[in-house]
Amino acid sequence: MKIVLISPSRSHLDAMGAALETHGHAVLRLDGGKSRMRDIAEQEAPDLMLVDGMCCDIEELVHVEHVTTHHPGTAVILLCSTHTPEFLINSMRAGVREVLPSPAAPAALQAAVGRVAAKLAGATGRRQGRILAFMPCKGGAGATFLATNLGAQLAENSTVLLMDLNLQFGDALSFVHDARPVSTLADVAHGIDRLDASLLAASTVRAGPNYSILPAPEDLAHAMEVKPEHVDAVLNVAVANYDFVLLDLARLMDTITIKALDRAARIYAVMQASLPDVRNAARLVAAFRSLGYGGDKAEFVINRFEKGREIGTEQVRRALGDVRLSTIPNAWREVSSSINHGEPLARTGRSNAVARQLAELAQSLNPPQEEGRGGLFGRLFRKA
């Protein structure tokens, strides 16, 4: 475990540092006091910060609270020669894990560090979130609507992050929220070396209690600065902190899109029953096969489907071959109203057929269940 030990006493640093290093911990010993906490947490990102000699003034706990708030992956233990009950209570409120005597006996110190290590091991053992990618076969197919509204449904019982990866013209946020973003994916990319759970959360817009959206860049020039490695790094943090990560992709098979598709557990390629959509869907089928995506990874969804149309499911099947194919009914008026008001369809029309089906899909995904041969949309929506 990576430990930073801060103390104004060289003898304390040497004694406690040696005790920790004998148990295999990487210990950084630093002379000083509470004023160094913020910079060290930012620069070193330790698993544990042991801070010696700051147990006199309750106002000093502002330094501790900054670390525990902005760096939730760093645990803080204080070492105090004396302290009052009031200080102890307030330190716990500030996020301190434990308060030990100063200097701490080796056995007591190692026991406290062991408790922190056990908790970290439990956190890292958390099941990682699932990545679901939505990609349109043609502009206007409805992929953004399905992604954002499924996110709203999942957020009723799970934590959800939606990443808008339509970097140049993404507008996913506007489908479910009217806020103007303070930061975007481009801002996260600029600070990628500092990326952690707190920075990612602070960069999103909260569209609901459990629903966060990381918007696409608003400046086209900034969109060009986002690289595949940035997307990969964000996804690494996202899956460790959210139950579901939804990706709203552009209709563009570039390196960023391929990186996102590679990471996705399931790809939903959204189309409509028109000849241009079918042609583009056939190209995507070929692209997915060339990328090595198995038939269980991608599913083609005919959005706004109506029976009796000139192009039906049989024609689509003949064009696409052996792929998973599902349909979603047409509810143009209700869906348009939802988009125009910037609110999820579940709020404006929960009884609507599309909203019901998205709710059923969300319920089946939480908790995740093994997907049968028919696919999630195939089981939930009317099979083609």
Task: Using alpha carbons, select from 235, 217, 131, 138 the residue that is nearest to residue 172.
Answer: 217
On whether both 143 and 69 belong to a single domain, the answer is no
CATH code assigned at 148: 3.40.50.300
In this prediction, residue 359 carries a pLDDT of 82
- Does 272 share its domain with 302? yes
3-class SS of residue 41: helix
Domain range for residue 65?
A: 2-124
Assess whether 78 and 146 both reside in one domain.
Answer: no
Which amino acid is located at 357 in the chain? Q
Spatial neighbors of 240 by CB under 8 A, at least 6 apart, are 126, 128, 129, 197
Cα–Cα distance measured from residue 344 to residue 255, given in angstroms and rounded to the nearest whole number: 31
One domain for residues 119 and 216: no
Q: What is the pLDDT of residue 313?
A: 83
Counting other chains too, the contacts that 102-109 makes at CB distance below 8 Å and 24 or more residues apart are: 102/12, 102/52, 102/53, 102/55, 103/9, 103/11, 103/12, 103/15, 103/16, 103/52, 103/79, 104/16, 104/79, 106/16, 106/19, 109/16, 109/19, 109/20
Same domain, 304 and 350: yes
Burial label for 275, CB within 10 Å (0-12, 13-18, 19+), is: exposed
CATH number at residue 120: 3.40.50.2300
What integer pLDDT is reported at residue 116 of this predicted model?
A: 82
Domain boundary among 100, 124, 148: 124
Task: Tell me, yes or no, whether 88 and 234 share the same domain.
Answer: no
Q: Measuring CA to CA, which residue among 208, 204, 211, 170 is closest to residue 187? A: 204
pLDDT at 372: 46
* Contact present, 362 and 350 (Cβ < 8 Å): no
Question: Which of 62, 95, 124 is the last residue in one of the domains?
Answer: 124
User: Taking the complete model, does pTM exceed 0.75, yes or no?
Assistant: no
* Domain termination site, one of 108, 124, 140: 124
Q: How far apart are CA 268 and CA 52, in angstroms?
A: 53
Give the SS3 label for residue 75. Answer: strand
Q: Are 198 and 250 members of one domain?
A: yes
Looking at the fold, whether 162 and 45 belong to one and the same domain comes out as no
Residue pair 143/136 in contact (Cβ under 8 Å)? The answer is yes
Give the integer Cα–Cα distance in Å for 161 and 147.
11
Question: Do residues 26 and 171 both lie within one domain?
Answer: no
In order along its 384 residues, the chain shows pLDDT tens digits of 789 999 888 999 999 988 888 777 888 998 877 777 888 888 888 889 999 876 666 777 888 888 888 888 888 998 888 777 777 778 877 888 888 888 888 888 888 888 887 776 655 555 789 999 999 999 889 999 999 999 999 998 899 999 999 999 999 999 999 888 989 999 999 988 888 888 899 899 999 889 999 999 988 888 999 999 999 999 999 999 999 999 999 998 999 999 999 999 999 999 998 999 999 999 999 999 999 998 889 999 998 888 878 888 889 999 999 898 888 888 778 877 877 777 888 777 667 888 887 787 778 777 544 444 445 555 555 444
Distance CA 304, CA 97 (A): 53
Statement to judge: residues 208 and 294 lie in one domain:
yes
- Residue 369's pLDDT is what? 44
Number of domains in the chain: 2
Same domain, 294 and 199: yes
Residues 110 and 37 in one domain: yes
